[in-house]
Amino acid sequence: MAPLLTFCVAAAGLLGRAIAWGPKGLYLKHEIRPYDGWFLSSNTIDAVRTLLGKEYNESLGNAATASLCMPGYSQHNLMGRSGLMTFAMTPSGPDEPMNGACSVDELRDCANEACILVAISNYTIQVADETLSSESRQVALKFLTHFFGDLAQPLHVEGYALGGNLVPVTCFGRSTNLHKVWDVDLLDLNLNVNHGGSLDNYISSLITRIATDDFSIPVSQWFTCDSSRSRLGFSCPLTWARESNALDCSTVFTYQAGTDICSTGTYAANAAPVIDLQIARAGYRLANWLNTLLDPPQSGRPSLRIAAETMQKVMHA
């Protein structure tokens, strides 16, 4: 499985498609859910396991990374199946993150319905639609999972220099680009320095920190969405996209040009808590999004109870 996954991820990169957080990050953000009913309810877990089946060992993490390797991935489009613009939601013109100018405008950035917000809407509807085939709902679940991660990676919600892909930087003596550093290198550095290189340790740490509310932004605020209704109907995802995009100005583009951004100065150290927060929020938000799709509300967790026929209510929740 690992060699195939590595090949598929590399192939996706050759197609010009950046991978949010790299395969480790994709796996991480979808494994942040202990089976004790705190993040995913028992009914949601059963539904997810049924949809994923044995092919992915009933794991959202495995399914999210596998979505990159699906036949025809490069031909999918955001109108129905997947995304051609998962890292270029914001056009390069309006944004100048090096000068502190970051923004997300849904009508501007989703003008052709080719953006992450539309993808999340479409796949949410498909996951909830019990009239669709099991295969169609499984595909929708895999891509919904994948796009929740894309939404949390700051450079996937930034069009400047193709989401940082055209920004040359040096990391541990290697010439690379800013997008790749945020997808892979900074996450690997964080794992090695703070978690002994162990994905399991990192997952456990994030779960504990979510449960104990140990982040710079309280967990209760992770579901606070703009009170004004989104013009296209994507209230919460739009708010989350703006959060990620703002990090491009406050953190991602604050590196010192001409330096090794991974091994000198404080850039990598400053990035670590941002990465932790974004991966934790992506996993926790996805868990509760799936709870609202697949299980009625329960006390003690956020409620966005939805069904396919009440989709507009969900996107305005």
Res 23 pLDDT > 80: no
Task: Out of 117-131, 156-170, 277-291, give the one with best mean pLDDT.
Answer: 156-170
CB 90 within 8 A of CB 245: yes
Cα 316 to the chain's mean position, in Å?
20
Mean pLDDT of 127-145: 88
The fraction of the chain above a pLDDT of 70, given in percent, is 66
CB 278 within 8 A of CB 181: no
Q: Burial, 103: exposed, middle or buried (Cβ in 10 Å; 0-12, 13-18, 19+)?
A: middle
The fold of the 2-74+82-315 domain, in CATH, is: P1 Nuclease (1.10.575)
Provide the pLDDT for residue 231.
Answer: 56
CB 232 within 8 A of CB 117: yes
Rg (CA), the chain: 18
Note the pLDDT tens digit of each residue in 214-269.
Answer: 999 999 998 877 645 555 556 788 899 999 999 999 999 999 999 999 999 999 99
Tokens 């995913």 sit on residue: 40
Range from 24-38, 146-160, 215-229 carrying the lowest mean pLDDT:
24-38
Using pLDDT thresholds of 50, 70 and 90, give the confidence band for residue 38. low
125's enclosing H/E stretch is helix 116-128
Range from 154-163, 178-187, 305-314 carrying the lowest mean pLDDT:
305-314
Residue 30 DSSP code: T
